[in-house]
Amino acid sequence: MRIFAISDLHLPGGDDKPMDVFGDHWAGHFERICEDWRAKVAPEDTVLIAGDVSWAMQLADAVPDLQAIGALPGRKLLIKGNHEYWWSTLKQVRAVLPQGMEAIQHTAVDLGPAVVCGTRGWSFPVAGDPFSAEDQRVLSRELIRLELALQAAVRVADGRPIIVMLHYPPLYDQVRDTPFTQLIARYPVHTVVYGHLHGQAVHAGFNGEHEGVRYMLTSCDSLRFSLAEVPLQA
């Protein structure tokens, strides 16, 4: 079994919302993702989707987008992104997911060769940037949720690799010591996949190893609308 990752598919959610308004490179982006997906992913493989699946505002409007992803090969695990306004309760989301697709919300899933856990995440204080009291409140809540996810993963991992899914970046290329990386470093995490960054912001993302943990930016435009394989070996 192989594990792949991608995020920020930004499917239309029932509206005519072409993504090429964000640049010509977005033209036909989902068709390009699907072509790459079908070429790489076997039925026994798993694809991690780190948030922002659909622009839909209501759960019913997200269903066609979820079904389109569900029709692609492999098992799919997804977490909530910052644009997931359609994501109501976890129970309601799970009720409409196609077969072979699962939602993670500060929980963990045993894939066999690896254990995957995750939550949405949030921004963190960066020198020179404003950080409100509300931001701090949400950050504290998301750190609690991430720790719950990590604890759930450790309970079942038994030495197998732990993969963390976050939507928001847990670090940047120039800012690596953050509340998220500090928490992650306290657990036996193998790889962290994250998204959220687009356009020029992709250059601020970090891909590589920090304190023994591999970090992978997986927003689809940063990957040129293809899937990245998550290697399980060191």
Whole-angstrom distance, CA of residue 209 vs CA of residue 193: 12
pLDDT of residue 120: 95
Which pLDDT does position 233 carry in this prediction? 77
User: Cα Rg for the chain, rounded, in angstroms?
Assistant: 17
pLDDT per residue as tens digits for the range 126-166: 887 888 999 999 999 999 999 999 999 999 999 999 999 99
- Average pLDDT on 103-110 reads 93
Closest residue by Cα to residue 78 from 108, 54, 45, 51: 51
Evaluated on CA atoms 131, 133, 139, 142, the torsion sign reads negative
pLDDT tens digit string along 192-233? 999 999 888 899 999 999 999 999 999 988 999 899 999 987
Q: Does the pLDDT value for residue 26 go beyond 90?
A: no
Proportion of the chain above pLDDT 90, given as a percent = 77
Q: Which of 164, 19, 1 is nearest to 73 (CA)?
A: 1
Give yes or no for a contact between 233 and 200, defined as CB atoms under 8 angstroms apart. Answer: no
Q: Where are the alpha helices (DSSP H) in the chain?
A: 29-40, 59-70, 90-96, 133-157, 179-184
Q: Which residues share a beta bridge with 2?
A: none
Residues 197/82, Cβ–Cβ less than 8 Å? no
pTM: 0.94
